[in-house]
A and B are shown apart, each in its own frame.
Chain A
Amino acid sequence: MNRTLRKVGIAMIVLVVALLGNLTYNQVVMADRYRQDPLNQRILFEEATRLRGQITAADGTILAKSVPSDDQYRYQREYPGGSAYANLTGYYSLRYGPIGLERSQQDILVGDDPSLLGDRVQDFLTGRDPRGGNVELTILPAVQQVAYDELTAKGYTGAVVAIKPSTGEILALVSTPSFDPAPFASHSEAVQKKAYNALVPARDPDPLTNRAVTNLYPPGSTFKLVVAAAALNAGMTPDTSVTSSATITLPNTGGATLSNFGRESCNGQVGDVTLTEALAHSCNTAFAEVAMSLGADAIRNQAIALGMDSTESNIGLRVSASTTGEMADQAAVAQSGIGQRDVVTTPLESAVIAATIANNGVRMTPHLISRVTAPDLTTVSQTEPEVANPDAIKASVAEQLKAMMITTEDATPGAGQIAGLEIASKTGTAEHGTDPKNTPPHTWYVAFAPAKAPTVAVAVLVENGGDAGLDATGSKVAAPIGRDVLKAAVAAQAAGG
């Protein structure tokens, strides 16, 4: 019987060898595919145990960092900037996944980005725990904090974007209400769940929405800057006469009217006013007529040159596409001319428009990330200022617009005028909703300073009239915040060189 026993012995070897062969296939040949399969949760857990890189502001202030923790994840994510920066950093949650920059810069922060390959190899060879790269932002904390504090002090729902006109660097990008990212990064699922449930189920206003880049708002009178640019470009001058009537009738609408604020004539004058006066006093009838005389294409072309009607873009955060809308007939053109109807912009785009005027008509691509560094802080990549459109507005036109905006600022009431700092601005008070006359308007303030040699452009949006209700105007609600942000930015840039 020993003969057959030996054959069974060979059979046992064959069985085990078959298992080993198959294991080798799974653990060597297929290993990478299984390891990187998106369904494999181990990646997320593995990343969580790596030393994730930092997110820092322009002055080195740390906005997100990982510190050692004595549990199985080994590192705890912290957000020293708190809710003022939460719309930028987002959070890194093991339960809900990352959002914000934590998500878009994921590959760099965990060290998986191809540009960090060398560092990964070095970590592997030296046996050091793999570390991620760092992301440095263009944000100036002094500006960001002022903007956040002013919006939250009065409980406003809104956004502030500040841009350096000459480079496109985003100096502040604030959205309120915000949230505290810390509990989302907690290693306790219970804490994460609680934080999430407190924010997510249909909270209005939703703290997770980034109003500065995601939401689209009717720009209201701030859009008159675009119409004015188109008009000057078409041969009008700041002194060209335009109507001052309190009300005009829209063509082909069966008598629908469009009127000035408070149904008054422009600046209380009879007859015509200049284009400068019309802008300074935000006369709707004048701009509606100017828009109709220019036509939809001229307005749209100017808007496109200023960055609207493009596709969705990304500055590390997803930016919704601002648009002029269809402008199908002259009535629509008239309404669009005062920034209503289907015209919508993000606060970022409004800031870009102001920055382009400030930068003599050269539109720079706005950017938020200034530098990516390796774990050892050597530079991996640096964002160079990029011209998006060298001739968005003719330089001569931009010069005229600047002067008009200085006049406008002088004519604008509201608190916060600063001695020694000349500002060029335009306010906006935009109707919205299904019952516009009884819904508090969105209020805007776009501006730049110092007016003669601008170093910062700003757009402030406060939803639903802030605390002023139906009486809210851009000058009352948004302008004081905008002026403080401009002041802070000019001061911070002076201090930082």
Chain B
Amino acid sequence: MSVESAEVPGKRSRRSAPQTNPDGTPTVRRPTGRAAELGLLILVAIIVTSALALVELNQNRALSLALLWYGLAFFVVFGVAHLIVRSIARYADPLLLPLVALLNGLGLVMIHRLDLANTAKALRAGDDLPSPIAPTQLVWTGVAVAFFLVVLMVIKHHSTLQRYTYTLGLASVVFLAVPAVLPARFSEVNGAKIWIKIPGAFSIQPAEFAKIGLIIFAASFLVAKRTVLSTAGKRVLGLVLPRARDLGPLLIAMVVALGVLFMGKDLGTALLLFSVFLVMVYMATGRASWLIIGLLGFAAGAYIAYREFSHVRLRVDIWLHPFADPSNTGYQLVQSLFGLGTGGIFGTGLGAGRPDLVPFANTDFITAALGEELGLVGLTAILLCYLLLGARGLRAGLAVKDNFGKLLAAGLSFSMVFQVFVVVGGVTRLIPLTGLTTPFLSYGGSSLLANYILIALLVRISHSSRMPVERPAPPPAPLNEAMTEMVPIGDLRGGTA
């Protein structure tokens, strides 16, 4: 696991520096990782195209050359992204883009596969054919990759974001609150009032974007208040309690955000934001007392919510006893478990299962669909991709020099892994089910767009962290720091004696 062995910048430059030009002078060139990125992207395109071919074969559809074109188009989208990253963020971590492309591609394949199942179902029932949604998701992928590039181009260095700390914080909270004040027909889908619906055009899930804005806000705010937060405060029972005024703006943002989400029944995002805030405060201050306070507060809040809100109670009851009412309230979870159980260790094979029996298989329950057809083995690989994404993001945070970059990278990485934990945990009955999308896999433009923006920020930070320090000519060691022994100049410069 790379987090444990993560290298600090000093170590890295020592390993990669000793390269010399033909004339014996040292260079500051170091591998950018771009070649590795291109190679991995080609591999991803092959995997995704093969997955698509498997679906078509298992669904007894004719294999056509069109598949190759789809694979090629998929590769071209990410190839273009690769070329642009090459020019504007050439030291970016080479794993981030291929991992995202892989998850995005597998999501597309599964959404397409569910389209086929829904069409077959409609044919059998003699109903009108549903319009497939994979093409829509494909368009959103293109748009999201474009957004990814735009963010990379606009934000030349992540530190510029610090200038907009409060603007971003306020805008995010307001954006988040919009669905709550909109009339239900503009904001409610399946009982959750968390959307902004523009009739006839599209729907936006503001929480996906607000999440990122709030993480940037929190990172910037905490870095500014870091010293005072970690030193001042009263000591009670061995815990150093913070002063409320130091945390004021963050507390306000958090309370408003959580309140809005809770009333909109978006428990998943509420849980996600709360946890990410808590972890970021802990990272900024290094104080475990914050975690304990936060967890106690969470326990109390969860208990009150369970007592007072029927929709919370229902979720918990379903989680504890999914088979109590398997054809009504427990239906989704029971179907999800059936899918996972039927898939077993190796899965039924892509296109050979019945993931369409699980409701919302292409959004909230897409991991259940993948678990059925790819089995424990496939789902493990997918979860490890997320862990790897999180680890590479965290590694960028460890390596970058400024604290804001550290906290932002770690906050974004943790938020992604935690989101996966909340949604997959819910679908597999580890924790109560709360609606959240699975980053990059689930159908949905907002989710895709927001997560590509998140990745763009991580790419930007990783670029800063891996970029070699500009040393036009290594300054000669000041005399007073020079060693007392006689050393040939060439040795200092890395030449061989």
List chain A positions with a Cβ less than 8 A from chain B: 1-6, 8-13, 15-16, 18-20, 22-24, 26-28, 30-35, 37, 39-42, 45, 70-72, 74, 187-190, 193
Contacts and interface: CB of A to CB of B under 8 A. Distances in A.
Contact of A26 (B60, B384, B413, B428): B428
Nearest to B126: A190
Contacts of A33: 341
A1 B406 contact: yes
Contacts of A45: 354
A451 B414 CA distance: 91
Given A5-B394, A22-B425, A189-B125, A34 B338 contact: yes
Interface residues of B, number: 61
B379 interface: yes
Closest 3 CB pairs of A and B: A34-B341, A9-B3, A190-B126
Instruction: Report whether over half of chain A's contact residues are helix, strand or loop; otherwise say mixed.
Output: helix
Contacts of B420: 16, 19
Contacts of A19: 383, 420-421, 424-425, 428, 430
B341 A12 contact: no
Contacts of B354: 41-42, 45
B205 to A, nearest CB: 23
Given A6-B6, A26-B429, A72 B59 contact: yes
B60 A6 contact: no
Given A1-B407, A8-B279, A22 B417 contact: no
B282 interface: yes
Nearest to A3: B286
Interface string B124-154: 1110000000000000000000000000000
A191 to B, nearest CB: 9
B387 interface: yes
B153 to A, nearest CB: 28
Given A20-B383, A28-B344, A40-B338, A5 B397 contact: yes
Contact of A72 (B60, B327, B343, B379): B60
Nearest to A43: B342
Contact of A27 (B344, B386, B398, B425): B344
Given A24-B376, A26-B428, A15 B421 contact: yes
B419 to A, nearest CB: 10
Interface in B328-357: 334, 337-345, 353-354, 357
B450 interface: no
B337 A12 contact: no
A247 B406 CA distance: 111
A11 B406 contact: no
Contact of A35 (B120, B341, B430): B341
A1 B124 CA distance: 60
10 contacts: A6-B6, A12-B413, A15-B421, A16-B417, A20-B380, A27-B375, A28-B376, A188-B124, A189-B124, A190-B126
A186 to B, nearest CB: 9
A170 B344 CA distance: 45
Contact of B430 (A12, A13, A18, A28): A18
A11 B291 CA distance: 13
B344 A12 contact: no
Contacts of A190: 124-126
A20 B420 CA distance: 12
A72 B120 contact: yes
Point out which of A15, A45, A70 has the most chain B C-beta atoms below 10 A from its C-beta: A15
B326 interface: yes
Contacts of A22: 425, 428-430
Nearest to B326: A39
Point out which of A3, A13, A33, A193 has the most chain B C-beta atoms below 10 A from its C-beta: A13
B60 A70 contact: yes
A252 B211 CA distance: 93
Given A22-B429, A28-B376, A31-B344, 12 more contacts: A1-B286, A2-B398, A5-B410, A6-B3, A12-B413, A12-B418, A18-B425, A30-B337, A40-B338, A70-B60, A188-B124, A190-B124
B158 to A, nearest CB: 15
B390 A12 contact: yes
A6 B338 CA distance: 37
A27 B345 contact: yes
B467 interface: no
Given A16-B421, A42-B357, A187-B124, A34 B337 contact: yes
Given A8-B279, A12-B390, A39-B334, A30 B414 contact: no
B341 A16 contact: no
A6 B397 CA distance: 10
B342 A34 contact: yes
A456 B390 CA distance: 80
Nearest to B334: A39
A218 to B, nearest CB: 43
Contact of B357 (A23, A41, A188): A41
Nearest to B346: A27
B213 to A, nearest CB: 21
A305 to B, nearest CB: 49
B124 A27 contact: no
A37 B357 CA distance: 14
A12 B417 contact: yes
Nearest to A194: B126
A31 B341 contact: yes
Contacts of B51: none
Interface in B19-56: none
Contacts of B96: none
B283 interface: yes
A15 B420 CA distance: 9
Contacts of B341: 26-27, 30-35, 37, 40
Contacts of A188: 123-124, 126
B391 A40 contact: no
A15 B357 contact: no
A129 to B, nearest CB: 12
A1 B281 CA distance: 11
Interface in B415-464: 417-418, 420-421, 424-425, 428-430
Given A31-B341, A35-B342, A8 B410 contact: yes
B485 interface: no
A379 B343 CA distance: 34
Nearest to A21: B430
Nearest to A94: B124
B201 interface: no
A42 B386 contact: no
B446 to A, nearest CB: 24
Contacts of A72: 59-60, 120
Nearest to B384: A16
B327 A39 contact: yes
A28 B353 CA distance: 17
A45 B384 CA distance: 32
A3 B354 CA distance: 46
B118 interface: no
Contacts of B384: 16
Contacts of B477: none
A188 B123 CA distance: 7
A23 B379 contact: yes
A19 B381 CA distance: 12
Contacts of B413: 12
A19 B368 CA distance: 13
A479 B427 CA distance: 67
B487 interface: no
A4 B282 CA distance: 7
B338 A39 contact: yes
Interface in B298-347: 326-327, 334, 337-345
B489 interface: no
B403 interface: yes
B200 to A, nearest CB: 32
Point out which of A8, A9, A11 has the most chain B C-beta atoms below 10 A from its C-beta: A9
B422 to A, nearest CB: 9
A33 B322 CA distance: 14
B272 to A, nearest CB: 12
B337 A26 contact: yes
